[in-house]
Structure 1
Amino acid sequence: MSDITLDQLKRLLTVPDPDAHAQQWLNPLNHAMAEWSIDTPYRQAAFLAQTLHESGQFRYLSENLNYSAQRLRQVWPARFPSDEKAQQYAGNPEKLASLIYADRLGNGNEASGDGWSFRGRGLIQLTGRENYERCAQGLQLDLLKQPDLLQEPEGAARSAAWFWWSNKLNELADPKPGRDLAEDFTTITKRINGGTIGMQARIEYWDKAKAALGVG
């Protein structure tokens, strides 16, 4: 396996001061990819493309749950059938997370606060007590007591690489005779996102990453 270089990573970024941003993320990304066998240019290109999109180029490491009442009614119409109900949760990310993630993904009820404690974090938004517990075992970190470790570069990158490996995404990133790599990239997106939201942006990152790593 060859580590990605600072120059290769900078070519994928359009953020202000890409040099400093790339320097911050280079080692965490390389260490995480090495740990979880993301060890070929094709695997690295697909992983970088997906994590760049999911995290807004490694800038957003925690789920944004700050919604207006109007937006709550649009996103979760069944949960917020009235303006009055929506107003109770508008502009209150902690209260909203505790509601929408209650009693699923291994979380307790709304009063437990698990929805907020185990909200989406990391480069691939790891969500729910059950997933945090599985990731904690894989990374040998106490994420149930210290979930904010996933908001630090090392934890954010390692959790994403663990998710990638545990969902068998390396195999999908590998080119195979008779297989359409673009179709496999779509399958990767579905396993990460549950659908194909942002597909065009993901493909653009993928094309840039393949070119930067010499497999475009």
Structure 2
Amino acid sequence: MKKRYLIPAIILFLIGLILVFYQPIQDSLIAEMTSNHLSDQTVRVNRLNRKHESNFNLQRVKPVDAATVSKALFDHDDSNVIGKIVIPAVAMKLPIFNGLNNNDLIKGAGTMHPDQKMGSGNYALAGHHMSDNGILFGPLSRVTTGDLIYLSDGSKLYEYQVTKKIMIDKHQVNWIQPTNKPVVTLITCSSGNEGEQRRIMVRGKLIQSRKLTRNDQKLF
């Protein structure tokens, strides 16, 4: 019985050891996990997907390190995927998870409040900014006013346009509070440096929403 648990523990240790000393491997694995969740055509991308309890406390979100990446590698549960986000101008394409669970944020973006609805109020998402600006929420550093943001819950497409991009302090939580107008708010660290205190805040207004067509699905 001990042997049964010893082997996975050794594998996790070895993977962690490799990741500690080789950042590009870690970034590559994160990109691969993201891609796997996007290519999985589980239209289990489902607004009603709430199979397990999620964390919505930013204080409980851990920095990305070898241990969290190693753990996420062995977590193949995609029951928490509730949508997808695409920003074509910066080649950002990610799954959206319900909440801010650490394993999920290694693979995509997370909703910041329970019961958020695409196309209604303030749809706030958070994501990690890695040393590789091309993965997770790193591409937000290249977003500019006027860029289009597309969200999908598997049945509808929501098109937003970026109206504001600013640097904020991590304590400026007013940007993720409820709004009357339908907007999307994207938050990430301003760099991939450990202990970064500033945040990139991208805000977009809803342009239109419609039933997701086969042609629309090519976006995602």
**TM-score after normalising by structure 1:** 0.24
* RCO higher in structure (CA 8 A, sep ≥6): 1
Higher strand share: 2
**TM-score after normalising by structure 2:** 0.23
